[in-house]
Structure 1
Amino acid sequence: MAEPGVQSVERALDLLEILAEVGGDAGLSELSEQSGLPLPTIHRLMRTLVARGYARRLPSRRYALGARMIRLGESAGRQLGAGARRHLARVARELGETANLAMLDGEMAVYVAQAASSHSMRMFTEVGRRVHLHSTGVGKALLGELPDASVRDIATRAGLAPATDRTITDLDALLAAMREIREQGYAVDDGEQEIGVRCFAVVVPGAPVPTALSVSGPAARVSYEFGERAVPVLHEVALDVAAELSGG
């Protein structure tokens, strides 16, 4: 049985999570509506968060996340990536292609760790790079975990811009792809982010932040037959990554 938390800390964290989820700024009435807390309590908590730099009070009197959250997020991402890197190295070693770990970051995915292929021609993605969800393997794997209503909402806010001529740019087609991903248990980026590159990705189950693991490389090597061998390895390693991220 989980021990009871400190109520004021839980409430402050709830408010920060709400600000993160709205993807911009929010007023006291919106924070009250979403948190269920009374306005005086929210005002007191937000005043403390602003004073510590974890939130900002805008000229409009609305609130947004503060600059101090950036440092925490970057540090957490580096630490989580460092812990998972040995598991990515196993993927790269067993499959011979580049392995990536990415986390959901609002309406985007951000790469937090990578283990590179030993091939001279290989896929390389800079750690810290943010990418759209609809055009990447990790992004589509993360979207597949969400209900259709959330997928529609993200697609509406972020758009479905084409990265290549193979990118899904139609909402109905994206929702159909999500149904297929949920049924088969993995996502494929078939030249949708970069021509000539194919990627297979799976979700890391139970991760504290929605997270996906992928393997990618030139389509000539990363064939669908390769995927039949790769997906079971990804699922197995994803369980190890989940334990790493949860401190197990």
Structure 2
Amino acid sequence: MGSVQRAMRLLECVADHEHGAPAKQLARETGLALPTAYHLLRTLAHEGYLRRDRGLFFLGGAAERLSGSAAQQKRRSTIVDALAHWRDSVGAPVYYAVYREGEIEINCVSDTPGNPAVQEWADFRETGHAHAVGKCLLSQLDEDARRDHLARYPVRTITPYTVRDDGALLRRLERTRRMEPVVERQEYALGVACAAIPITVGATAATIAISLPARQADRLLPATRQLQGEIGRLLGSLAISISI
């Protein structure tokens, strides 16, 4: 345990020196005996956590990957906590999705036993024309990107309420005003109504959505407006999480 603690102190010290530092300086700043520092530095370099160049030590690829993983986990924790807060605030399951590399990705869902999320009975990626999440993401794309998506995932009937063909869907998307919530009722799953709020950060299309039983459809728009207000207050924290 002592060796691990000393090695971590050396890593932290190296991280503080963007332009590298020699072993003697690192030993002095960490309070380690020079032979101990040399031994640990060589071990860390051998394992890829440090690299040595012209007598100076820098963070290595393994340390940078570890740092990147920690940062990614922190971003994911941010969105998970935000979704749980919104779920409890509006009393409905909350979904977070992005459109990345031509695909619809549901990245996080927060629900409870009393308010369960919609079951994915038909692949969400292939049925973007039917659910609010997909239509919200598609509404943020340009016409060429929409047509490319539909060429790969054409409109097909999911329920009696699903939009009937590509042309009808494109016309509906064109009528959607920028940053306007998208609502669908029983188009993906019978007995379920959904609303999705668009979020665009840079070139990334994203959305936060909720679902409710169709019998509670009168709650959908008030809950969506409430959710929009909640998102507005946390948008700064959310923006850094788009890349999850």
TM-score band w.r.t. shorter chain: 0.5 to 0.7
Give the structure 2 partner of residue 13 of structure 1: none
Give the structure 2 partner of residue 159 of structure 1: 154
Q: Percent identity?
A: 21
Distance across 1 between alignment mates of 2:72 and 2:163: 29
Q: How does 1:31-70 map to 2 (within 5 A)?
A: none
* TM-score normalised by the chain length of structure 1: 0.58
Q: Return the index of the structure with the highest Cα Rg.
A: 2
Residues 1:139 and 2:137 aligned together: no
Q: 1:170 aligns with which of 165, 171, 189?
A: 165
CA contact (8 A) 1:205 1:239 kept: no
CA contact (8 A) 2:163 2:169 kept: yes
Residues 1:194 and 2:189 aligned together: yes
State the Cα distance separating 1:162 from its structure 2 match: 2.3
SS in 1 for 2:200: coil
Q: 1:122 aligns with which of 107, 111, 116?
A: 116
Q: 1:229 aligns with which of 205, 216, 222?
A: 222
- Structure 1 residues 148, 123: closer, same or farther in 2, change over 3 A? same
- Structure 1 residues 130, 170: closer, same or farther in 2, change over 3 A? closer
Q: Aligned-pair RMSD on alpha carbons?
A: 3.0
CA contact (8 A) 2:193 2:220 kept: no
Give the structure 1 partner of residue 207 of structure 2: 212
- Structure 1 residues 112, 198: closer, same or farther in 2, change over 3 A? same
Give the structure 2 partner of residue 180 of structure 1: 175
Give the structure 1 partner of residue 97 of structure 2: 102
Distance across 1 between alignment mates of 2:197 and 2:174: 14
CA contact (8 A) 2:156 2:165 kept: no
- Structure 1 residues 134, 78: closer, same or farther in 2, change over 3 A? farther
Q: Which amino acid aligns with 2:108?
A: A
State the Cα distance separating 1:109 from its structure 2 match: 1.4
State the Cα distance separating 1:157 from its structure 2 match: 2.3
Distance across 2 between alignment mates of 1:169 and 1:95: 32
SS in 2 for 1:149: helix
CA contact (8 A) 1:206 1:242 kept: no
Residues 1:86 and 2:78 aligned together: no
- Structure 1 residues 77, 100: closer, same or farther in 2, change over 3 A? farther
State the Cα distance separating 1:99 from its structure 2 match: 0.4
Q: Which amino acid aligns with 2:90?
A: L
Residues 1:149 and 2:147 aligned together: no
Q: Which amino acid aligns with 2:117?
A: M
Mark the runs of 5 or more structure 1 residues left unpaired by the alignment: 1-73
- Structure 1 residues 239, 141: closer, same or farther in 2, change over 3 A? same
Distance across 1 between alignment mates of 2:70 and 2:152: 28
SS in 1 for 2:221: helix
Q: Which amino acid aligns with 2:146?
A: V
CA contact (8 A) 2:78 2:237 kept: yes
- Structure 1 residues 78, 156: closer, same or farther in 2, change over 3 A? farther
